[in-house]
Amino acid sequence: MTETTARLPGDPSASASVARMIRVDHAGEYGAVRIYQGQLAALRGRGKSDLVRHMLAQEQHHLRTFDGLIADRAVRPTALLPVWHLAGFALGALTAALGERAAMACTVAVEETIDAHYQKQLAELDQTEPDLRATISQFRDEEIEHRDTGLAHGAEQAPGYRLLRAVIKTGCRAAIALSERV
Ligand SMILES: [Fe+2]
Ligand SMILES: [Fe+2]
Protein backbone atom coordinates (compact mmCIF):
# COMPACT_ATOMS: atom_id res chain seq x y z
CA MET A 1 0.00 0.00 0.00
CA THR A 2 1.41 3.39 -0.94
CA GLU A 3 1.56 6.32 1.39
CA THR A 4 -1.20 8.03 -0.63
CA THR A 5 -3.76 5.26 -0.37
CA ALA A 6 -2.99 4.70 3.33
CA ARG A 7 -4.06 8.24 4.11
CA LEU A 8 -7.51 8.82 5.56
CA PRO A 9 -9.77 11.60 4.27
CA GLY A 10 -9.30 14.70 6.40
CA ASP A 11 -5.82 13.61 7.43
CA PRO A 12 -3.89 16.85 7.90
CA SER A 13 -0.94 15.51 5.92
CA ALA A 14 -3.30 15.01 2.98
CA SER A 15 -4.49 18.59 2.98
CA ALA A 16 -0.90 19.81 3.36
CA SER A 17 0.14 17.84 0.31
CA VAL A 18 -2.86 19.10 -1.67
CA ALA A 19 -2.01 22.66 -0.59
CA ARG A 20 1.52 22.11 -1.86
CA MET A 21 0.13 20.90 -5.19
CA ILE A 22 -2.12 23.92 -5.57
CA ARG A 23 0.74 26.27 -4.63
CA VAL A 24 3.14 24.84 -7.21
CA ASP A 25 0.51 24.55 -9.94
CA HIS A 26 -0.56 28.15 -9.39
CA ALA A 27 3.11 29.19 -9.64
CA GLY A 28 3.57 27.15 -12.82
CA GLU A 29 0.53 28.61 -14.54
CA TYR A 30 1.61 32.08 -13.47
CA GLY A 31 5.03 31.43 -15.01
CA ALA A 32 3.45 30.06 -18.20
CA VAL A 33 1.36 33.22 -18.64
CA ARG A 34 4.50 35.33 -18.25
CA ILE A 35 6.50 33.19 -20.73
CA TYR A 36 3.85 33.58 -23.44
CA GLN A 37 3.48 37.31 -22.68
CA GLY A 38 7.26 37.63 -23.08
CA GLN A 39 7.17 35.75 -26.37
CA LEU A 40 4.34 37.94 -27.69
CA ALA A 41 6.21 41.11 -26.72
CA ALA A 42 9.33 39.97 -28.57
CA LEU A 43 7.43 38.68 -31.63
CA ARG A 44 5.54 42.00 -31.92
CA GLY A 45 2.75 40.59 -34.03
CA ARG A 46 5.10 38.72 -36.36
CA GLY A 47 5.78 35.05 -36.79
CA LYS A 48 3.73 32.70 -34.72
CA SER A 49 1.94 35.38 -32.71
CA ASP A 50 -1.52 33.92 -33.31
CA LEU A 51 -0.46 30.54 -32.02
CA VAL A 52 1.20 32.08 -28.98
CA ARG A 53 -1.88 34.22 -28.29
CA HIS A 54 -4.06 31.09 -28.31
CA MET A 55 -1.75 29.31 -25.85
CA LEU A 56 -1.60 32.43 -23.67
CA ALA A 57 -5.41 32.53 -23.47
CA GLN A 58 -5.44 28.91 -22.26
CA GLU A 59 -2.72 29.62 -19.68
CA GLN A 60 -4.73 32.60 -18.44
CA HIS A 61 -7.69 30.29 -17.92
CA HIS A 62 -5.44 27.81 -16.05
CA LEU A 63 -4.11 30.62 -13.87
CA ARG A 64 -7.59 31.97 -13.06
CA THR A 65 -8.65 28.48 -12.02
CA PHE A 66 -5.70 28.13 -9.64
CA ASP A 67 -6.25 31.70 -8.39
CA GLY A 68 -9.73 30.48 -7.40
CA LEU A 69 -8.37 27.36 -5.67
CA ILE A 70 -5.77 29.41 -3.78
CA ALA A 71 -8.58 31.65 -2.48
CA ASP A 72 -11.16 28.91 -1.78
CA ARG A 73 -8.78 26.70 0.13
CA ALA A 74 -6.77 29.45 1.81
CA VAL A 75 -3.52 28.19 0.31
CA ARG A 76 -0.53 30.48 0.70
CA PRO A 77 0.82 31.31 -2.77
CA THR A 78 4.54 30.89 -3.33
CA ALA A 79 6.66 33.82 -2.15
CA LEU A 80 8.50 33.52 -5.45
CA LEU A 81 5.75 35.00 -7.69
CA PRO A 82 7.75 38.23 -8.22
CA VAL A 83 10.69 36.09 -9.37
CA TRP A 84 8.52 34.09 -11.80
CA HIS A 85 6.99 37.37 -13.00
CA LEU A 86 10.41 38.52 -14.22
CA ALA A 87 12.03 35.18 -15.05
CA GLY A 88 9.04 33.89 -17.03
CA PHE A 89 8.77 37.03 -19.14
CA ALA A 90 12.55 37.09 -19.70
CA LEU A 91 12.61 33.44 -20.78
CA GLY A 92 9.79 34.02 -23.27
CA ALA A 93 11.19 37.26 -24.63
CA LEU A 94 14.77 35.97 -24.97
CA THR A 95 13.82 32.76 -26.74
CA ALA A 96 11.43 34.60 -29.09
CA ALA A 97 14.19 37.15 -29.81
CA LEU A 98 16.35 34.24 -30.97
CA GLY A 99 13.63 33.40 -33.48
CA GLU A 100 10.27 31.73 -33.93
CA ARG A 101 11.73 28.26 -33.77
CA ALA A 102 13.60 29.00 -30.53
CA ALA A 103 10.32 30.29 -29.08
CA MET A 104 8.71 26.99 -30.07
CA ALA A 105 11.65 25.08 -28.56
CA CYS A 106 11.04 26.94 -25.29
CA THR A 107 7.37 25.94 -25.47
CA VAL A 108 8.28 22.28 -25.99
CA ALA A 109 10.71 22.29 -23.04
CA VAL A 110 8.31 24.04 -20.68
CA GLU A 111 5.22 22.06 -21.64
CA GLU A 112 7.03 18.72 -21.51
CA THR A 113 8.10 19.53 -17.98
CA ILE A 114 4.59 20.56 -16.94
CA ASP A 115 3.11 17.43 -18.55
CA ALA A 116 5.44 15.23 -16.47
CA HIS A 117 4.67 17.28 -13.36
CA TYR A 118 0.89 17.00 -13.80
CA GLN A 119 1.21 13.31 -14.62
CA LYS A 120 3.02 12.78 -11.32
CA GLN A 121 0.34 14.71 -9.41
CA LEU A 122 -2.45 12.71 -11.04
CA ALA A 123 -0.76 9.51 -9.87
CA GLU A 124 -0.51 10.92 -6.34
CA LEU A 125 -4.05 12.29 -6.08
CA ASP A 126 -6.51 9.86 -4.65
CA GLN A 127 -10.32 9.65 -4.78
CA THR A 128 -10.77 12.37 -2.15
CA GLU A 129 -10.05 15.09 -4.73
CA PRO A 130 -12.11 14.25 -7.83
CA ASP A 131 -12.59 17.88 -8.91
CA LEU A 132 -8.93 18.80 -8.58
CA ARG A 133 -8.01 15.63 -10.41
CA ALA A 134 -10.36 16.47 -13.28
CA THR A 135 -8.99 20.02 -13.49
CA ILE A 136 -5.37 18.87 -13.60
CA SER A 137 -6.20 16.18 -16.12
CA GLN A 138 -7.87 18.69 -18.45
CA PHE A 139 -5.03 21.20 -18.11
CA ARG A 140 -2.48 18.47 -18.73
CA ASP A 141 -4.21 17.67 -22.04
CA GLU A 142 -3.89 21.33 -23.03
CA GLU A 143 -0.19 21.45 -22.03
CA ILE A 144 0.36 18.41 -24.29
CA GLU A 145 -1.39 20.32 -27.11
CA HIS A 146 0.99 23.22 -26.51
CA ARG A 147 3.99 20.90 -26.71
CA ASP A 148 2.64 19.44 -29.95
CA THR A 149 2.10 22.96 -31.34
CA GLY A 150 5.78 23.67 -30.65
CA LEU A 151 6.86 20.44 -32.33
CA ALA A 152 4.61 21.11 -35.34
CA HIS A 153 6.10 24.59 -35.80
CA GLY A 154 9.80 23.94 -36.04
CA ALA A 155 10.96 23.62 -32.41
CA GLU A 156 13.36 20.82 -33.31
CA GLN A 157 14.87 22.92 -36.11
CA ALA A 158 15.84 25.70 -33.68
CA PRO A 159 19.62 26.23 -33.55
CA GLY A 160 20.96 24.47 -30.45
CA TYR A 161 17.59 22.78 -29.85
CA ARG A 162 18.91 19.98 -27.65
CA LEU A 163 20.91 22.25 -25.38
CA LEU A 164 18.18 24.90 -25.22
CA ARG A 165 15.58 22.28 -24.32
CA ALA A 166 17.80 20.66 -21.68
CA VAL A 167 18.67 23.98 -20.02
CA ILE A 168 15.06 25.20 -19.94
CA LYS A 169 13.80 21.87 -18.58
CA THR A 170 16.38 21.95 -15.80
CA GLY A 171 15.33 25.50 -14.94
CA CYS A 172 11.65 24.57 -14.91
CA ARG A 173 12.26 21.57 -12.66
CA ALA A 174 14.18 23.78 -10.23
CA ALA A 175 11.34 26.33 -10.29
CA ILE A 176 8.84 23.56 -9.51
CA ALA A 177 10.90 22.24 -6.58
CA LEU A 178 11.29 25.75 -5.15
CA SER A 179 7.63 26.69 -5.58
CA GLU A 180 6.45 23.62 -3.67
CA ARG A 181 8.47 24.68 -0.64
CA VAL A 182 8.93 28.45 -0.61
FE1 LIG B 1 -1.09 25.78 -18.23
FE1 LIG C 1 0.77 25.23 -21.48
CA of 65 to the centre of ligand 1 (A): 10
Nearby residues for ligand 1 (ion, Cβ within 5 Å):
29, 32, 59, 62
Look at residue 9 in the predicted model and tell me its pLDDT: 53
CA of 104 to the centre of ligand 2 (A): 12
| Distance between CA atoms of residues 137 and 65, nearest Å | 13
pLDDT above 70: residue 64: yes
CB count in 10 Å sphere of residue 170: 12
Give the ligand at the shortest distance from the Cα of 113. Answer: 2
CA of 118 to the centre of ligand 1 (A): 10
Residues 120-136: tens digit of each pLDDT? 999 999 888 999 999 99
pLDDT above 50: residue 59: yes
Give the ligand at the shortest distance from the Cα of 139. Answer: 1
| Distance between CA atoms of residues 176 and 24, nearest Å | 6
CA-CA-CA-CA torsion sign (145, 120, 167, 63): positive
Give the ligand at the shortest distance from the Cα of 148. Answer: 2
Give the ligand at the shortest distance from the Cα of 92. Answer: 2
Give the count of alpha carbons within 13 A of 31, CB side only.
30
Task: Give me the phi and psi of 80, to 5 degrees please.
Answer: -95, 5
Give the count of alpha carbons within 13 A of 47, CB side only.
20
Residues 21-34: tens digit of each pLDDT? 999 999 999 999 99
**Mean pLDDT value of segment 140-166:** 96
Look at residue 1 in the predicted model and tell me its pLDDT: 40
> How does residue 47 score in pLDDT terms, banded at 50, 70 and 90?
confident
CA of 62 to the centre of ligand 1 (A): 5
Burial of 53 (0-12, 13-18, 19+ CB in 10 A): middle
CA of 137 to the centre of ligand 1 (A): 11
Burial of 143 (0-12, 13-18, 19+ CB in 10 A): buried
CA of 135 to the centre of ligand 2 (A): 14
Residues 92-110: tens digit of each pLDDT? 999 999 999 999 999 999 9
